[in-house]
Chain A
Amino acid sequence: MQHTLTITTSNEASVVERLLQVTRYRGYQLAGLELTPLTDRAGMQITLKVQSDKPITLLTNQLAKLYDVQHLVLASADVAVLRA
Chain B
Amino acid sequence: MNGAELVLKVLQQQGVNTIFGYPGGAIMPIYDAIYHSTVKHYLCRHEQGGAFSAIGYARASGKVGVCLATSGPGATNLITSLADALLDSVPLVAITGQVSQAVMGSDAFQEVDVLGLSLSVTKHSFMVRNVKDLAATLQEAFRLAQSGRPGPVLVDIPKDIQLAPAVEPEWPEYPAPRIATSLANAAKARELIANAKKPIAYIGGGVQMADALAQLQTFLAESVMPSVTTLKGMGSVARANPHYLGMLGMHGTQAANLAVQQCDLLICLGARFDDRVTGNLAKFAPGAKVIHVDIDPAEINKVRFADCAFIGDMKQILPAISATTQCEAWLAHCQQLKQQYGWRYDHPGERIFAPLMLKQLSDRMPDNSVVCCDVGQHQMWVAQHMRFNSPRNHLSSGGLGTMGFGLPAAIGAKLARPQDTVIAVSGDGSFMMNVQELGTIKRFRLPVKIVIVDNQRLGMVKQWQQLFFNERYSETDLSDNPDFVALAAAFAIPGHTITRKDEVESALDAMFTWPGPYLLHVRIDEKDNVWPLVPPGAANEDMLTETN
Contacts and interface: CB of A to CB of B under 8 A. Distances in A.
- Interface size classification for chain A: 10 to 19
Interface string A69-82: 00000000000000
Contacts of A65: 148, 296-298
A17 B125 CA distance: 12
Interface residues of B, number: 16
B144 interface: yes
A2 interface: no
A5 to B, nearest CB: 15
Contacts of B300: 61
Contact of B115 (A14, A57, A58): A14
A17 B116 contact: yes
A17 B124 contact: no
B127 A13 contact: yes
Report whether over half of chain B's contact residues are helix, strand or loop; otherwise say mixed.
mixed
Nearest to A68: B124
B119 A67 contact: no
A67 B120 contact: no
Contacts of B298: 58, 61-62, 64-65
Contacts of B123: 67
Contact of A21 (B120, B124, B297): B120
Contacts of B301: 55, 57-58
Contact of B119 (A17, A55, A58, A61): A17
Interface in B285-318: 296-298, 300-302
A14 B116 contact: yes
A64 to B, nearest CB: 7
Interface string A1-34: 0000000000001100110010001000000000
B441 to A, nearest CB: 36
Name the residue among B115, B125, B298, B302 with the largest chain A CB count within 10 angstroms.
B298
Contacts of B119: 14, 17-18, 21
Nearest to A60: B298
A58 B144 contact: no
Contacts of B302: 58, 61
A66 B298 CA distance: 11
A42 to B, nearest CB: 16
Contacts of B297: 61, 64-65
A57 B300 CA distance: 10
Contacts of A62: 298
Contact of B120 (A25, A55, A57, A64): A25
6 contacts: A13-B127, A14-B119, A14-B125, A17-B116, A65-B296, A67-B124
Given A17-B116, A61-B302, 11 more contacts: A17-B119, A21-B119, A25-B120, A55-B301, A57-B301, A61-B300, A64-B297, A64-B298, A65-B297, A67-B123, A67-B124
Interface of B: 115-116, 119-120, 123-125, 127, 144, 148, 296-298, 300-302
Closest 8 CB pairs of A and B: A61-B298, A67-B124, A62-B298, A21-B119, A61-B297, A18-B119, A21-B120, A65-B298
